[in-house]
Amino acid sequence: MPSASLAVAHRPSHAHPDKVRIAALSAAIALNIAALMLVMRPMAPQVAETLQQTKQVVINWITPLPKPPEPPPIEMQAVPKAPPSVPHTLPRATPPAAVPTDQGSIAAPPAIPTPAIEPAVQAMPVADPAPIEATLAYRAAPLTFPAMAIRRKLHGTVMLRVLVDTEGKPTQVVIEKTSGSDLLDKSARDQVLANWRFQPATSQGHAVPAWARVPVSFELREL
């Protein structure tokens, strides 16, 4: 008895889950039926027209432009060459024919002889005139007595032969007569050649070179 009472008391607890499951299945079926009816319901006219306008897509095909015709090929024409120029030769004049006359034959004029051209004579250079002997005036520079000759007490007169050009300058000095001292002779020659000036000689109104004799004296009393 106690076990039977427990079994009866526990049976109602199994019936509650079945009701919940049945209610959940019923609700799911109702939702599916409602969704199916909503889909099968006809659309409103405005919505259908909007969808129809959206689906109509107008495609305008662009016709490509025709390709322009290619230009005709350019023909290269050869330039004709100019004909070679032919030199124009003038016809030679024909001498007139001799006309016979009754006056006899006319003698041809004698040919004029061509004078022979003589070769040009090369002008010979004019040589300078030979120096003449003359007595010339001169301007003597102050004479310098050599110091060595003073210490040796040398003195004397040297005769010089001087060649003077057309400008009065001595160009050559020759010792014609010595003073007895080479030191005095050399000093006299060098001083005349370097410092003295002469009046040039003249011949037919022109200056000419000339030789002149000049004495140079070294005297101790002059110092």
Question: How far is residue 75's CA from residue 81's CA, in Å, rounded to a whole number?
Answer: 18
pLDDT of residue 181: 94
Question: How far is residue 131's CA from residue 163's CA, in Å, rounded to a whole number?
Answer: 8
* Structural domain contains residue 87: no
pLDDT of residue 53: 57
Residues spanned by the domain of 193 = 132-222
* Structural domain contains residue 76: no
Positions of the chain with pLDDT under 70: 1-17, 38-64, 73-128, 222-223
* Structural domain contains residue 13: no
The CA-atom distances, in angstroms, between 183 and each of 125, 145, 170, 216, 218 are 42, 10, 21, 13, 11
* Structural domain contains residue 164: yes
Per-residue pLDDT tens digits for 31-67: 888 777 766 665 555 555 655 555 555 566 666 677 7
* Structural domain contains residue 160: yes
Strands (E), the chain: 132-133, 138-139, 156-164, 170-177, 197-198, 201-203, 206-208, 210-218
* Structural domain contains residue 158: yes
CATH code of 161's domain:
3.30.2420.10
- How big is the chain, counted in residues? 223
What is this structure's pTM?
0.42
Beta carbons of 114 and 190 less than 8 angstroms apart: no
* Structural domain contains residue 146: yes
* Structural domain contains residue 162: yes
pLDDT of residue 170: 95
Question: Per the structure, how many domains does the chain have?
Answer: 1
